[in-house]
Amino acid sequence: MVATFKNYQDLSAFAANKIIRLVKHKKNAVLCLAAGDTPALTYHLVVETAKREAISFSEIIFTGLDEWVGIGPDIPGSCYHFLQQKIFGPLGIKKTQIHFFNSMATDLQQECNRINTIIQTVRGIDLALVGIGLNGHVGFNEPGIDPAGNAHVVTLDEVTSIVGQKYFKTNTALSKGITLGMAQIMQAREVLLLANGAKKAAIIRRTLKEDISNAVPAGFITTHPNGWILLDEEAAAEL
């Protein structure tokens, strides 16, 4: 389903409402949340609503979507640090509720296996909120990935490495990522893909107009039975 909103505020409010409704309905829901600029306002609105309405997140389970390999969780620019600042901290989420990739692990394959096991144990993801890269990636599922894969380590596309620098105060080597696989995202009971701004218009056109293939991984979400592509008018400008 594709939904276009007048602006980023309206898009974010819709996504935030989806999360709030799920948490109200299912106290132990499993959420998979992306870091990045696009979902930042969504998380702010979730926190605002949860505090205003005294909605408890005490039993919610969070699983990470992806992380930069070699970037510790306390480093500003890491995916974990972003989510800690935007939603985990403000909502008082306990560390026992958070299952995130340890991108500093000496055995990254074992780390992938650990996250795969956790997702199986909690019986899958209820809602995955993801963004879209300028190259069509979802998480760090870069163009050319195996859409049937689970958690894996990936060599980052040059576009991802360059764009990722904006999250760091100093130039940072970003060569590899660790991510949930496309299969795990597609197995989530609901997927929200958010895109805003004119810079995303070209890749949104490719996502929605080109034949679905791993050349643009985000395109797979259009086949999800409960998948949403949420756009503001600028991101939808080339449709």
Catalytic residue among 81, 99, 137, 224: 137
Catalytic residue among 81, 102, 126, 135: 135
Q: In the 3-class helix/strand/coil scheme, how is the chain assigned residue by residue?
A: CEEEECCHHHHHHHHHHHHHHHHHHCCCCEEEECCCCCCHHHHHHHHHHHHHHCCCCCCCEEEECEEECCCCCCCECEHHHHHHHHHHHHHCCCHHHEECCCCCCCCHHHHHHHHHHHHHHCCCCCEEEECCCCCCCECCECCCCCCCCCCEEEECCHHHHHHHHHHCCCCCCCCEEEECCHHHHHCCCEEEEEECCHHHHHHHHHHHHCCCCCCCHHHHHHHCCCEEEEEECCCCCCC
Has 113 been annotated as catalytic? no
Has 116 been annotated as catalytic? no
Catalytic residue among 67, 111, 126, 142: 142
Has 137 been annotated as catalytic? yes
Q: Which residues are catalytic?
A: 66, 135, 137, 142
